[in-house]
Amino acid sequence: MRALPCMLAVAAALQRAPRRVAPPAVAARRNVALRACDQNLSKKGTVTLVGAGPGDPELLTVAALRLISDPEALVVADRLVSPEIRSLVQGELRVAGKAPGCAEKAQREIYDWCVEGVNEGRRVIRLKIGDPFVFGRGGEEILEFRETLGLEAEVVPGVSSCLAAPLAAGVPVTHRGAAHQLVVSTGYGRDGSSPELPYYDENRTVVLLMAVGRLGKIVANCLEAQGFPRDCPALVVEQASSPRQRTVVGDLSDIADLVLEHDIKAPATVVFGAAARVLHATAPHGLMDERAPAARLDVLETVAAAIPEPKPYEFLGGKTAAKVR
């Protein structure tokens, strides 16, 4: 509808022009009308899906930090994005309450905010925990923006919680002699059903996202139908990499009860398999005392000390955003 006045203006200019050769004055009016139409259409905003990582602001990509620091941008996030990351937003921030039981309502609110921002000609940053395309509904949102707004959203990848959360809890998801396969699954299958996990393999690590709210059902299915032993190591890490991180260690026989006992809530990542015990062989069942973020910082300092200063002509980096078409 916004383009209609522009089209009428162009039509009026053409109607006033002679049939054969347009005089300079008429051509000038026509060009002015066309430029006004182009400027009006160019006011349509953009949408960029940005991965926020697991929670620690230091795990944001350079591109993500640059985009959420834009004072002119509208940043649309949900409650799973950590408050530490939300505090870095320099422009307008809107947060949808994506709580269990009202996810669809919150998702519609997110779409409405994004459409509103685009129609106002703004840069909209859709900020999502982890990576937008790893159980983050990123593909659904790309299709929604394409159908609703007729535009192609851009995507900035993020550090996925399926790898970063176990790491923050001291779990190598692959380890020689313990795990040479990795399965990543959502905790919710079609129509809210439990996921169909593959049959148990002692050399496989299973990582579950969005599963803590129905962990009891998932564990029961693993034990009864998928051949998992009751003593299969299990671990759940809550709010990984943030100051509020908590980790519960157990096995399939008691992990669901431990999660309830310690009131572990989303966002949380679940790990099944021998890899969960590689670095925690002597840890008792229950809430761990270790604070993995401090260990992570020690690792970063050690690695940084081993990296030589780049020469002036060297360039480290690459493309940070890929347009989805």
User: Could you confirm whether 210 is annotated as catalytic?
Assistant: yes
Which one is catalytic: 128, 131, 210, 288? 210
3-state secondary structure of 133: coil
Q: CA–CA separation, 89 vs 85, rounded Å?
A: 7
Radius of gyration (C-alpha) of the chain in whole angstroms: 26
Residue 142's SS3 state is helix
Q: Are 236 and 269 in contact (CB under 8 A)?
A: yes
Helix (H) or strand (E) holding 298: helix 292-306
| Strand 322-323, strand 268-272: pairing | unpaired
How many residues belong to the chain? Answer: 325
Most distant CA atoms of the chain, gap in Å: 91
DSSP string, 145-205: HHHHH----EEE----HHHHHHHHTT--SSBTTTBSEEEEEES--GGGPPP-PPPP-TTEE
Distance of alpha carbon 249 from alpha carbon 262, whole angstroms: 11
Q: Phi and psi for 154 in degrees, rounded to 5? A: -95, 160
Which of 56, 98, 128, 251 does the annotation list as catalytic?
Answer: 98
Which tokens hold the place of 197?
A: 């996990």
Among this protein's residues, is 319 annotated catalytic?
A: no
Among this protein's residues, is 298 annotated catalytic? no
Known catalytic residues are: 78, 98, 210
